[in-house]
A = this chain, B = another copy of it.
Amino acid sequence: MILVMRQGCSQEEVTNAEVRLKEIGLTPHTLFGVERTVIAAIGDERRTSVDELSQIPGVDNVMPILAPYKLASRESQPIPSTFDIGGADSPCGGKSKAVTFGGKSIPIIAGPCAVEGRSQILEAAHAVKEAGAVALRAGAFKPRTSPYQFQGLAEEGLSYLAEAREATGLPIVTEVLAPADVPLVAKYADVLQIGTRNMQNFLLLRACGAVKTPVLLKRGMSASLEEHLLAAEYILSGGNPRVMLCERGIRTFESYVRNTFALALVPALKEKTHLPILADPSHGTGVRTLVPAMTRASIAAGADGILIEVHPNPEKALTDGAQTISVKDFAKLVNECRAIAEAIGRTV
């Protein structure tokens, strides 16, 4: 940590700050400048916080040297993480074809926003598989802004998803909303999805850290890069190493889109962490006509996977219709993505 002291602080304040730093286990190195005194505190700064050190009398500003996350960092693991979801060993016991994340290939996870019924999800699963998806996404528990909107089919929806997996061999990615629901959802899902509104639901993160099911952790809609990695750190430090991060758009002043797709997070995260980084251009924009361009852009920007909303009949989708594309448009888009992946030496 670097402590910049206030202009004109007293020698007593400097001495006191040095004592406090030593108590915390850091070694202070004090530099008396013309205008300001600076104390560099060397050691394991994760034992304290910017907030704590800012309270020391005479301190004007505190700057960290190290990132506050550890297990998620490139420094702790310089090589990208690669792992499978689904397959014979999937913790849920369902039978699906394993899909590798973090490698040269870029898996596409597709499906409707919500499980709306048995035939809808079966139809969707077959259609997205045929078009090129390697995993199926759909929500059985839906976080909805209004209490008067459709809230999902709950366990009934999970059972339809399991049926869709049996029918197609696609691993299942589905959202879990509460810590208490983690065991139930983990019984059916190959990947537990944590949505944008729950990125800082720390009890949910802990609950997902305590199971063996891989986790897809979406960025909170106003979360910083560091907060996203600290959320992953909750899961990793609980003992679950299979975490994927996903950019899904942030909230800004822009009003022609539902969210601003902050795609530079993808290469930025890849500099900081070894975890696979996915992109969700459906939520990333919230506008159907922009999804194909931003999916192509996601591949070009280096995403390790795509999460995309596809519905057999987008116009009748119960949720998120405005950002959902048709099966036909999806099939065309997969081919475009293949061409772009090839251009950058990867595959879809």
Contact = CB atoms under 8 A, between A and B. Distances in A.
A34 B75 CA distance: 13
Contacts of A294: 263-264, 267, 301
Interface in A228-253: 230, 233-234, 237-238, 250-253
B293 A266 contact: yes
A255 interface: yes
Contact of A263 (B56, B261, B299): B261
Nearest to A324: B55
Nearest to A179: B178
Contacts of A263: 261, 263, 294, 297
A180 B177 contact: no
Interface stretch (A80-88, A98-106, A129-137, A139-147): A139-147
Interface string A261-291: 1111111100100000000000011010110
Interface of A: 2, 4, 7, 29, 31, 33-36, 38, 40, 42-44, 46, 49, 51-52, 54-57, 63, 65-66, 68-69, 75, 143-149, 151, 177-180, 197-198, 200-206, 221-222, 224-227, 230, 233-234, 237-238, 250-257, 260-268, 271, 284-285, 287, 289-290, 293-294, 296-302, 314-317, 319-322, 336, 339-340, 342-344
5 contacts: A2-B2, A36-B65, A145-B227, A177-B202, A178-B203
Contact of A344 (B52, B284, B336): B336
A43 B4 CA distance: 14
B31 A42 contact: yes
Contacts of A298: 297
Q: What are the 7 A-B residue pairs with the smallest beta carbon separation, nearest first?
A: A222-B222, A339-B343, A300-B300, A267-B293, A33-B42, A297-B301, A297-B297
A11 B298 CA distance: 38
A66 B51 CA distance: 20
Given A31-B29, A55-B317, A293-B302, A144 B202 contact: yes
A56 B297 contact: no
Given A43-B33, A65-B33, A251 B222 contact: yes
A68 B146 contact: yes
A265 B261 CA distance: 10
Contacts of A301: 293-294, 296-297, 300
A107 B147 CA distance: 30
Nearest to A292: B267
Contact of A262 (B57, B260, B320): B260
Contact of A255 (B38, B255, B340): B255
